[in-house]
Amino acid sequence: MKKLFTFLLLSVLTIACQQNETDTKTEIISVSESQAEVPDMLPLVENKPIKNIIFLIGDGTGLAQISTGQYAMVGPDGMLHMQTMPVTGFVKTHSSDNLITDSASGATAYSCGLKTYNGAIGVNPSVTPCKTILELAEEKGLSTGLVSTSSITHATPASYAAHVEQRSMQEEIAVDFLDSGVEVFLGGGVKWFSPDERSDSLDVMAQFEAAGYQVLLNENDLQDTSSDRLLGLFAEDGMERVEGEPSSAAMTQKALDVLSKNEEGFFLMVEGSQIDWAGHGNNTEYLIREVEDFDLAVKTALDFAQQDGETLVVLTADHETGGMTMLRQADTGDSLEVYWVTDYHTGIPVPLMAYGPQALEFMGWRDNTYIGQKLAELLGVGELPILMEK
C-alpha cells in the first residue's frame, strides 16, 4: 500500500513537473564584465512649474526586464540611464474588466486618466471617447508628438490620438490621427496609411501630405527633413531593426528638435514597443536589444531635460510581460539564468521613474490613471478625465 502511494505521488509529481516544463522557459544570458563608467544619479531639481513633458513607456517592462538589460549591457555594478532617474515608485496596472491589462487599456489610463476595458483605444467602458492629454495640449497651443517602434497605429500611441472600440482597427486609427493636430508621428506602419494595403483603399498618406506633413520613410529622410510636421513610417508594420531604420534615440532627438521650437511647450510620448514583443516570445536576447534601444532614447530625453530645466521626464510601463525573473547564476560562471512564466502579460506592478521639476509627484504606489491625471494637471492643460460627445 505504501509502495502504491509512493508510486502515485511520484507520478503526480512527474506530471506536474512536465506541465511546468511546457508552460515555462529558461534562458541563459552572459553577464557583462564591462568596466564602463557608471552614470551619476541625476539630482532632484527645484520644484517650479513645468513647460514640457516627455513620457516614456517601456511596453511590458518590469523590474526583471530592466535589471536583465543592465546585467547584460553594463554588468551587476553598472547602471542604465533610466536607472539614474532620482524619483521612483510603482504603478498598479489593472484595467476596468481584467486584473491583467493589455496595452490599449493601459495606455488609455495614461492618455485619458481613466480605467477602461482591454482593447479600448481612447474610449471609456461604455465606448464614449475620452479626451487625451495630447488633445488637451493641442487645444492649449502646445506641440505634441508620438514616437514608437511598433506601427504608429498600434495600441499605445493610438490611445493618445484616436478613439476606437478595438485596438485592431488600425485603418480607422490612421484616419483619426489626421485631425489630431499632432505635429510629429514617428514609428512603423506604412501599410495602415497606403491605399494598396488598406481594405478601404484610402490614401491616408496623401491626406497627411495635403495637411502639410512631410512623409519620411527611412533614416536619411529623418535626418534631412526641416519640416515641422512629420509622419515617419519606417517599416511596413512594426520596426524591423534593419539598415536604414532610425533608432529610438534618433527618432526621439528629431521629435525634440521639432517640438521644442514651440515657446508654449510640448508633450512627447516615446514607446519602447518591442520590449513587450520580446516578452511575448520569451526571447531574452531580443529583450536585451530592445531595452538597449529604449535606454538610449531615455538618455536623449534626460540630456534634453537637463539642458532645458523646464522639462519633466516620467518613465513607466503599461504592464509587465512574461512574468520574467532572474532565477540564478548559471553554472558557467558569469551568466544569468532567466525564467519566463508566461507568454502573456502579468498583473505585477511596474516601476515608475521621474526626473525634473515636479518629479516628486511620482513617488510611491500609484494607480495608472493617476499618472495621466497628474501629467495633465502639471502641464496646465486641464483636468482629466473628460468624456466627449459620441
Residue 19: φ, ψ to 5°: -65, -45
Query: Counting every residue, how long is the chain?
Result: 390
Distance CA 27, CA 64 (A): 13
Distance CA 233, CA 15 (A): 49
When the beta carbons of 276 and 293 are compared against Zn ion, the nearer one is 276
For residue 5, count other CB atoms closer than 10 A to its CB.
Answer: 9
Burial of 372: CB neighbours in 10 Å, binned 0-12, 13-18, 19+: buried
Residue 118: CB minimum distance to Zn ion, A: 11
CB 224 within 8 A of CB 251: no
Distance CA 236, CA 206 (A): 16
Q: Comparing C-alpha atoms, which of 353, 296, 304, 340 is closest to residue 84? A: 353
Residue 119: CB minimum distance to Zn ion, A: 12
Residue 188: CB minimum distance to Zn ion, A: 16
> Identity (one letter) of the amino acid at 383?
E
Per the DSSP assignment, residues forming a β-bridge with 250 are none
Terminal-to-terminal C-alpha distance of the chain? 70
For residue 144, count other CB atoms closer than 10 A to its CB.
Answer: 28
Distance CA 294, CA 298 (A): 6
For residue 37, count other CB atoms closer than 10 A to its CB.
Answer: 8
When the beta carbons of 245 and 276 are compared against Zn ion, the nearer one is 276
Active-site residue identified among 103, 150, 151, 194: 103
When the beta carbons of 135 and 276 are compared against Zn ion, the nearer one is 276
Stretch that binds Zn ion, among 199-207, 229-237, 269-277, 298-306 (CB under 5 A): 269-277
Stretch that binds Zn ion, among 109-117, 195-203, 272-280, 292-300 (CB under 5 A): 272-280
Residue 155: CB minimum distance to Zn ion, A: 8
CB 149 within 8 A of CB 248: yes
Residue 191: CB minimum distance to Zn ion, A: 20
When the beta carbons of 86 and 238 are compared against Zn ion, the nearer one is 238
* Using rule CB under 5 A, residue 271 touches Zn ion: no
When the beta carbons of 140 and 280 are compared against Zn ion, the nearer one is 280
Q: Comparing C-alpha atoms, which of 209, 190, 192 is closest to residue 201? A: 192
When the beta carbons of 67 and 101 are compared against Zn ion, the nearer one is 101
Stretch that binds Zn ion, among 166-174, 270-278, 289-297, 332-340 (CB under 5 A): 270-278
Residue 279: CB minimum distance to Zn ion, A: 7
How many residues touch Zn ion (CB under 5 A)?
1
SS3 label, residue 281: coil
Stretch that binds Zn ion, among 7-15, 49-57, 171-179, 268-276 (CB under 5 A): 268-276
Stretch that binds Zn ion, among 61-69, 109-117, 127-135, 276-284 (CB under 5 A): 276-284
Residue 273: CB minimum distance to Zn ion, A: 9
When the beta carbons of 27 and 276 are compared against Zn ion, the nearer one is 276
CB 349 within 8 A of CB 91: yes
How far from 238 is each of 72, 96, 153, 195, 388, CA to CA, in Å? 25, 28, 10, 18, 31
Contacts of 15 (CB under 8 A, 6+ apart): none
Residue 324: CB minimum distance to Zn ion, A: 13
Is 103 among the catalytic positions? yes
Residue nearest to Zn ion (CB): 276
* Using rule CB under 5 A, residue 27 touches Zn ion: no
Stretch that binds Zn ion, among 36-44, 209-217, 271-279, 324-332 (CB under 5 A): 271-279
* Using rule CB under 5 A, residue 276 touches Zn ion: yes
When the beta carbons of 241 and 280 are compared against Zn ion, the nearer one is 280
Catalytic (active-site) positions: 103
Q: What residues make contact with Zn ion under the rule CB under 5 A?
A: 276
